[in-house]
Amino acid sequence: MKRTFIALMTIAALTLQGCAGFKAERLSTAEGDEKAMEITDEWLLTDTENAVNEIMKQLDTNRGFGQYMNQLGHRPKLFIAEVQNETSEAYFPIDDMNDELLTQMSETGDFRLINAAARDRILKEIQYQNEGMVKPSDIRKIGKQTGAELLIFGAVRMNPKTLKGKTIKEYTVNLRFTDIESGEEVARMRTKASKYSKRGGFGW
């Protein structure tokens, strides 16, 4: 009985010692994301921002795209046709990546963005109005919408690997800019990111 009591007290002391080594730390969102990037294999908002930042840098220095812009002579009109999630993660934030890409492209002032989803909804509304459900004087006509010149296609892929007992997720973000009239691929960009999780063997 006495030995059992001593053993329990020893375990309790070790547990308290482990808890004492844990220190809660309040972090800003940016600091939290930065630390999380170092210890998690999950794709974070900061990863999305970093990937798009790299894509935009490549776009700015791509010679083929620069030549296309010079020949075009004006800001190209574009929209994202399809960027697929080809990872094994059903909840990969592909929509966030598309939004971040369009936001950064808009901020440059070098592009005219077309909202493909909004255009489809506008078309449905025009069709509804012309089915006799709206007064003739209120019916709006199609004909002033802007057509795209460039379409963005792409995919995000993830390849898991094992290194020194750690599972590493190697992500690649691939984008292609295609001229809608000629079908010519104007430029393509690719960026990579590796994510892995640091897990201790014991403790909280």
Specify whether the CB–CB gap between 179 and 150 falls below 8 A. yes
Instruction: Give the tokens for residue 90.
Output: 């059903």
Average confidence (pLDDT) over 194-203: 62
What one-character DSSP code corresponds to residue 172? E
pLDDT of residue 101: 95
d(CA 18, CA 21): 5
Instruction: With beta carbons less than 8 A apart as the criterion, state whether 197 and 39 touch.
Output: yes
| pLDDT one-digit tens code per residue, 12-68 | 555 545 444 434 344 344 444 444 445 677 898 999 999 999 999 999 999 999 999
Query: Using alpha carbons only, what angle is made at residue 79 by residues 76 and 83, rounded to the nearest 5 degrees?
Result: 130
The predicted-structure confidence for 68-77, as pLDDT tens digits, reads as follows 999 999 999 9
From the list 61, 40, 55, the residue with the least C-alpha distance to 197 is 40
pLDDT exceeding 90 applies to what percent of the chain?
A: 47
User: Is residue 126 over pLDDT 70?
Assistant: no
The predicted pLDDT at position 107 comes to: 95
Q: What is the mean pLDDT of the chain?
A: 78
Task: Choose between 161 and 62: higher pLDDT.
Answer: 62
The closest of 81, 41, 45 to 168, measured between CA atoms, is: 41
Which fold does the domain 43-196 belong to in CATH? Rossmann fold (3.40.50)
Band (143; pLDDT cuts 50, 70, 90):
low
pLDDT band of 123, cuts 50, 70, 90: low
Domain assignments of the chain as residue spans, ordered by start:
43-196
DSSP 145: P
Nearest-angstrom CA–CA distance, 44 and 53: 14
pTM over 0.75: no
Provide mean pLDDT across the span 118-130: 67
